[in-house]
A and B are shown apart, each in its own frame.
Chain A
Amino acid sequence: MSTLEIDRVRKSYGSLEVLKEVSISIDTGDFLVLLGPSGCGKSTLLNMIAGLETISGGEIRIAGRVVNDLSPKDRDIAMVFQSYALYPTMTVSQNIQFGMKIRGVPKAERAKAVQAAADMLQITHLLERKPSQLSGGQRQRVAMGRAIVRQPRLFLFDEPLSNLDAKLRVDMRTEIKRLHARLGTTIVYVTHDQIEAMTLATRVAVMKGGVVQQLDEPQTVYDRPANVYVARFVGSPSMNVIPGTLRVEGDKVMAVIEVQNRPPATISGIGLSRDAAARYAGRPVLVGIRPELFSVANGQPGTITVDIDVVEPTGPDTLAVFQLGGVEVTARLPPKQVEAGTATMLAVDTSKLVLFDPATENLIK
């Protein structure tokens, strides 16, 4: 059963169209991440789901009910804001129960709900403090507590971790994931951080310029990006997109890539449908190779030889940068296997290699 259906929703400010016919549908218990750079319309979409922005066209349905004209309080949602938005003059306890107080929930019941939420988020000792006396992570917990006691059908998170420092961000990410596992409530989560999207989501919608580029499970978005934009946005370091030419010999599909000062490199053993192979045979393509698909070759066939330009050790592995097909390419290799300024033979794992059409930049299926 789908908890949230976004049906051809549009948003425009005057003649400026910020969302163009966005359609997303998610099931109960899903964790949808709206991922994209600032200005892609993801926060606008979230505000429209919440009822804080009007809908210019299309329909939003929560649990089958059209909510276009419902006020936020009638939509059965709770929201966590980037700035936490805790009420500054109220204590943590008052902050958490403010919504219940407005809905006329009896005092005893409120106290019980506050206690339960505080226990779950380990903020019991903070209940009588004011928000100004809390650290960033604690404020974030309180903001989540305020959302939890609502027991909504839908949680909305607007970049909840962007104001935290790197270490705390990772901790709170785990916390949110745990919370989702425990409550099982459907979540819509907005972020520009692709790591958050990969770690948290059950479904990711990658957005750009008010259009959903791809809506899929995170692993699918990573392995089979719908276009070059998604390929580059998800993953760090980002996917290498290298111009080459497709060559087909019988059943064998291979990509030929120009290498500076060397004969062209041939990457063979590419899996492609017979149909697509026929269409693109002999034509230019963009070859998408994730950095971790490279490995140092030890004599197997189908290797390419490159001149390593820069080596960047990160600890667990080393990033090697070199030129291939006229673009800069990064390979993620085990530490201490390559040196800068040397020629190295690299093998490519072609099972996860993807190809894009150079004209449309869409994935060739």
Chain B
Amino acid sequence: MAEAISTLPSPSPAPGSGRVTKTDETPRYNRAWIGRLFIYATLIAMAAAYLMPLWVMVTTSLKPLEEIYGGSFIGFPQNFTLDAWRVAWSQACIGTECTGLKPYFVNSLLIVIPAVVLSTGIGAINGYILTKWRFPGANLVFGLLLFGCFLPYQAILIPMARTLSLIGLAGSIPGLILVHVSYGICFTTLFFRNYFVTLPDDLTKAALVDGAGFFRIFWSIILPTSIPIIVVSCIWQFTQIWNDFLFGVSFTSGAHSPITVALNNIVNVTTGRKQYNIDMAAAMIAGIPTLLVYIVAGRYFVRGLTAGAVKG
């Protein structure tokens, strides 16, 4: 009992000492807080600067034309309307046809889906052969494929046009698919080869002993482990092909054009006043698919790009 009482006074100096440590810590805490504030302010300012064009595009596309010509370019829409989007999608005139972007959007899908699937598939098999079924001269073949990544678009325009006309695919959607697949294989092979090189060779050997063959090993063992790199390859190819303008404008014409070519026609070929709201809406319609792909699969993209960099 006496002991218990004797311990009582001891807590009373404690708050005092506690206060001392508090005053000790407060400036440090404040400094950290100021630093944090600075970081956030900088980040928000940067993000705002970056998002400014998007803001202008979105608000402009939602304004009637009179408001754009009458008032500020940057302000919030006073008379909110979706007309520009409607027109851009289904009524805007492209050349002599006033169909809007819709058929060209479909064209782009018809080009991009097979081209992405084919180039990713072929890249995967190439990478698989170059790492797990090495043959004499494999490194040379890989080196030559890598060389393809550095070929500028312009350099292959004329030979490609000649090839397409020789095989009867000039000006068609299948022709453009072929162009994108052959140009994309260099990149997809590089992705898959670098990913597969990190998979232990013992996996293939174990599967061989188990009785699996070339395609069985590819399907059942290699591909299921490669989801991250498949996503990387698909995103890369999708954005490249969807956003491509040069190949589209060079190798297709009229009704077979991809959306980027149609967008160019809407924006550059106008009679009378420039219809900024429709141009903005059209540009955003053309950009939405790539944006969606990034939002849906973006985290796999980062994961896939860093895969193999860290063991585990």
Contacts and interface: CB of A to CB of B under 8 A. Distances in A.
B209 A79 contact: yes
- The interface centre, meaning the residue of B200, B205, B209, B221 with most chain A CB atoms within 10 A of its CB, is B209
Main secondary structure on A side of the interface with B: loop
Contacts, number: 61
- The interface centre, meaning the residue of B211, B212, B225 with most chain A CB atoms within 10 A of its CB, is B211
B144 interface: no
Contact of A73 (B202, B208, B220, B221): B208
B203 A85 contact: yes
A82 B207 CA distance: 15
B211 A52 contact: no
Interface string B205-242: 11111111000100011001100000000000000000
A1 to B, nearest CB: 24
Contacts of A47: 205
A81 B202 contact: yes
Contacts of B220: 87, 98
Nearest to A158: B202
A78 interface: yes
Contacts of B209: 50-52, 72-73, 77-79, 99
Given A73-B209, A78-B209, 19 more contacts: A50-B205, A52-B209, A72-B211, A73-B208, A77-B209, A79-B209, A81-B205, A86-B206, A87-B207, A88-B203, A88-B225, A89-B221, A90-B224, A98-B207, A98-B212, A99-B209, A99-B210, A102-B211, A102-B212
Contacts of B212: 98, 102
Nearest to A77: B209
Given A102-B212, A146-B210, A79 B203 contact: no
A89 B209 CA distance: 18
Q: Is the interface on chain B under 10, 10 to 19, 20 to 34, or 35 or more residues?
A: 10 to 19
Contacts of B211: 72-73, 99, 102-103
Given A73-B211, A85-B200, A79 B224 contact: no
- The interface centre, meaning the residue of A47, A52, A86 with most chain B CB atoms within 10 A of its CB, is A52
Interface of B: 200, 202-203, 205-212, 216, 220-221, 224-225
Main secondary structure on B side of the interface with A: helix
A-B CB proximity, top 8 nearest: A73-B211, A99-B210, A85-B202, A89-B224, A85-B206, A81-B202, A102-B211, A72-B209
Contacts of A23: none
A83 interface: yes
A228 to B, nearest CB: 35
A71 interface: yes
Contacts of B200: 83, 85
B205 A52 contact: yes
Contacts of B225: 88-89
Contacts of A82: 202
B304 to A, nearest CB: 16
Contacts of B216: 102
17 contacts: A72-B211, A73-B211, A77-B209, A78-B209, A79-B205, A79-B206, A79-B209, A81-B206, A85-B200, A85-B205, A86-B206, A87-B203, A87-B220, A90-B224, A102-B212, A102-B216, A103-B211
A78 B221 CA distance: 18
A74 to B, nearest CB: 9
Given A83-B200, A85-B200, A52 B208 contact: yes
Given A85-B200, A89-B224, A98-B220, A73 B210 contact: yes
Interface in A334-349: none
